[in-house]
Structure 1
């Protein structure tokens, strides 16, 4: 594993510790993190919210920045809020769905 991949993995792991207070699952399992890019001079995180009017938006944004900084190996961190593509429930990971008690419509019961 190269250094950039290892750093991106560490940042994603750190982002996984940030919990959405409304859903009670991590922002990674909720599918709010779209990308983590390791660049020579900085680390960039693209994230979204479930809605532009999310009451926890600033808390989640600040939490993502703090978590990314904790694993950034000293590189400056830029967290960008993006709205395209729009978040949908399809963004939730299988682990997130399980934590929320959701099943896929195609699954047998």
Structure 2
């Protein structure tokens, strides 16, 4: 019997889904808010399969990017043998902020660099 994928398993799988503008994965960006794994009681086979419910957001509204990201997530989860189907719910509350990013994402985007200090000379 195949064990149910864990939330950690799903997060790791989603690390190959990238925000198209920033080229940073959606997990490290903090776009994935919640993951629920539920046994698929309608699955006809002997081995159990699971439905994955993802609640996520985007940095900003965009119909084109919404469809692209949701498609990436659903395609990635479809590749996991224990998963029968997935549902992706896009939410706007709570609003995404850069505070949700992991240190790895902040480093990749250059947001963790210390500000330059010292004297500034301005010539007029």
2:94 aligned with 1:85, yes or no? yes
Q: How many residues align?
A: 104
- Which of 52, 57, 60 lines up with 2:69 in the alignment? 60
Q: Give the greater-gyration-radius structure (CA).
A: 2
Change (3 A) 1:80 1:30: same
C-alpha separation in 2, matches of 1:36 and 1:28: 11
Which runs of no fewer than 5 residues in structure 2 stay unpaired? Answer: 41-50, 117-124
Q: Distance in 2 between matches of 1:108 and 1:20?
A: 26
Cα RMSD, aligned residues only = 2.1
In structure 1, stretches of 5+ residues that fail to align are none
Partner of 2:48: none
Larger CA deviation: 66-75 vs 44-53? 66-75
1:96 corresponds in structure 2 to: 105
Structure of greater relative contact order (alpha carbons < 8 Å, 6+ residues apart): 1
